[in-house]
Structures are given as C-alpha cells and as structure tokens.
Amino acid sequence: MRAEMTRRAFLRVAAGTGAALITGRLAYGAPAVEAPEAFGCEANPTGDPIGGGKGYRRIYTSGDITVKSVEELVAALKAAKPGQVVYIPEGARIDLTETETLAIPEGVTLAGSRGAGESVGALLVSKRKKGLMFSTAGDGVRLTGLRFEGAYAGPERVAVDSRFLSVAHYGCEVDNCEVYSFNLSGVGVSANAMGAHIHHNDMHHIQLGGLGYAVSTNASDVRIIANRFDHGRHFIASSGTPGSGYEAAYNLVGPNATSHHFDMHGGRDRGDSTDIAGDWMHIHHNTFLGKHRHVVIRGVPCQGAQVHHNWFSGPASEKVVSGGNTRVYRNVYGPEKTLEE
C-alpha cells in the first residue's frame, strides 16, 4: 500500500481491523492472549473497529435525559447527576455557536448512537471563531457516539482558534466520536488529568499552522488507542514537561499531514534550560501512511521511549527522531514491510 493512498482506501483499512475481544480491561501494551507477531494497526486487539462507527459495541441508544436542542442540552448538563447519561438521538443537530463553553459534570456521560445500525451520530457544531466547545467539571466524564464540528478545517493562519474539549479531571473517556474542523486542537489533556483514555475516534482536519493538535497532553498517563487520524499537523503532541507521558497504539494515521505525526516537546521548546522530553512514551502497532517524519522526540525522555511494531510507510531513515534514551526496534518500513531490528 502506498503512502499516497486515497482517503477511500484509507477508510477501507480502518474498517477491516476488528479482532476478537479480550475480556476484562485490556492492557494494550501486554496482550493477554499470545498471538503471532504483527505490525501496524491491523494487530488491533480491542474488538472494535479503528475509528469507531459501525461495529463498535459500547453504544447508547437511550439515556436518562434525552435532548434535541441547545436549550435542552444546557439544562440537562446543569441537572445531570453522577452516573447519568445525557443522550442526543440520531438526526439531531445542535448549534452551539452562540453558547459559551459547556461543562460536563462529574460522572456524566454525553452520548449518541454513532455506529448503531446506520447511525452516524447526532451532530454538535460551533462556528465561533474563538472558543472551547466543552470542558470537564469533574472526574469520570465520558463523551461517546457523537459528531463534533468546529469552526475551520484548513491549515491557514486565519482569525479562528477553535477547540473541542479541555480535560482537567481524572478518568475522562472520549470514544467512538468523530471530531473535526477544530483548527487549534481536538482533545486537550491538562497535567493533573490522570487516566485519560482517548480511543476509537475519527479525528481529522485539525491542522492550524504552528498548532493543530488532534490530541495534546501535559498529563502523565494518557492512552490514545485505535483512533483514525488524517488531515492534521501533529496528531498527538505533548509539552514534554517532567512527568508527562503517553501510550499511542493501534492508531491509523492517514496520508495527509502538514508536519510530523506524533510529537514530544523538549526543554528548548519550553525555554526551561533542560533537554527533558517528558518521562515516557510507548508507541507501538500504529500504521503511518504520511510522508513526514512519524515520531519526533525533541529532547530526552527521563524514563525512556519505546517505538516498536509500527508500520512506517517510507524508508527507515529519519522516520523516528529523538534526543536520546529511546529504543526503536522491530518496525517495518515501506510497501514491502521491510523489517528492521
């Protein structure tokens, strides 16, 4: 398969990556069932399709509070209690352009039906030129099965700073969503937001020049699993402050990007007179179809980084760049999937 494959072919790859379910909470870095050695996202052991949608299993078709308008949504988020589901049915379109940032309370799930039958999920849209659509207001927030559309899809430096979600609490989950046209950032995870899990989403057209992060994180424990990324600048980025780290696995990275794909900043970027690039990174079983460098670590991770069992579309030279303390091993390169130890 060539790096310049069309998006149609790209979607076919994502649709065919289901696998048998491993019961219990899956430790993605250490599969519970021994299997033949595999490379790239097609090793996906999660039991759900990469990027979510049709075939995804943890789908809501109802909730404790059902909303179809912006007024109902605002009221529901004010009234919802921990453990409740605010549900937006298929076919609903809620325009949040004139609404300030909405906070999702502790333990509340905001849900739609994306992937149930032919459902593409309800759409929430904001065309505000500057602003954040959602934030967490407590631990255990989940957003699932919905589509979120921001204000601008292009990479140009225009007077738009559109952001989707700010996570500032423990145990947030974003899954089975489509997130697009937030030119500044998709999901932003702050330093104290441990245990964030961002998985089985389709995130695209998040590509503002100089910024443009589908997922940005300062936290120390973020899992970014089985997502589909395309049309972005950095699909994953971290400030690299001491303590930060993330796992990225079973993701399908499409052919369209304006810069390198997975990123960890170093001390030079922060201006803190160190060469620290976070604590750790674990990047494995991803498929990278773009022409840019795939992983750039702009300093030295304190605990170390591992990059293995990925499929890189181009030759081995400079696909992974690091300042040190990084182990790159058993990846395959190019259309022929040439293995390098």
| Average pLDDT estimate for 320-331 | 94
Q: What is the CATH number of the domain that holds 184?
A: 2.160.20
Count of helix runs (H) and strand runs (E) in the chain: 3, 31
Q: What pLDDT sits at residue 124? A: 98
Which residue carries 């021994």 as its tokens?
34
Q: Is 77 within the bounds of a domain?
A: yes
The CA-based angle 335-339-341, given to 5 degrees, is 155
* 306 Cβ contact list (under 8 Å, min separation 6): 281, 282, 283, 284, 326, 327, 329
Within a domain: 231: yes
Total structural domains within the chain:
1
Output the pTM of the full model.
0.90
- Please say whether the beta carbons of 124 and 96 come within 8 A: yes
Most trustworthy range by pLDDT among 141-155, 272-286, 287-301: 141-155
Contact at 8 Å (CB) between 202 and 227?
Answer: yes
Residue 9 has pLDDT above 50, yes or no: no
For residue 23, pLDDT over 50 is answered with: no
Match 């899954």 to its residue by tokens: 175
pLDDT given at position 16? 42
SS3 letters across 212-237: CEEEEECCCCEEEECCEEEEECEEEE
In the chain, which residue ranges form alpha helices assigned H by DSSP? 7-15, 70-79, 267-270
What average pLDDT does the chain have?
89
3-state secondary structure of 307: strand
Instruction: Say what the pLDDT of residue 12 is.
Output: 41
Would you state the pLDDT for residue 29? Answer: 52
Environment class of residue 310 by beta-carbon count within 10 Å: exposed (0-12), middle (13-18) or buried (19+)? buried
Question: Is 1 among the domain residues?
Answer: no
pLDDT of residue 118 exceeding 50, the answer is: yes
User: 93: domain range?
Assistant: 7-340
- Summarize the confidence of residues 46-74 as an average pLDDT: 98
The confidence score (pLDDT) of residue 2 equals: 34
Is position 216 within any domain? yes
- Percent share of the chain, pLDDT over 70: 90
Greater confidence (153 vs 29) lies with 153
**Span 27-45, pLDDT tens digits:** 445 444 556 899 999 999 9
Using an 8 Å Cβ cutoff, are 234 and 213 in contact? yes
User: How far is Cα 295 from Cα 289, in angstroms, rounded to an integer?
Assistant: 13
Residue 175 located in a structural domain: yes
pLDDT, residue 34, reads: 56
Residues 68-110: tens digit of each pLDDT: 999 999 999 999 999 999 999 999 999 999 999 999 999 999 9
Instruction: With H, G, I as helix, E, B as strand and everything else as coil, classify residue 139.
Output: coil
Q: What is the mean pLDDT of residues 3-27?
A: 36
Instruction: Say if 2 falls within a structural domain.
Output: no
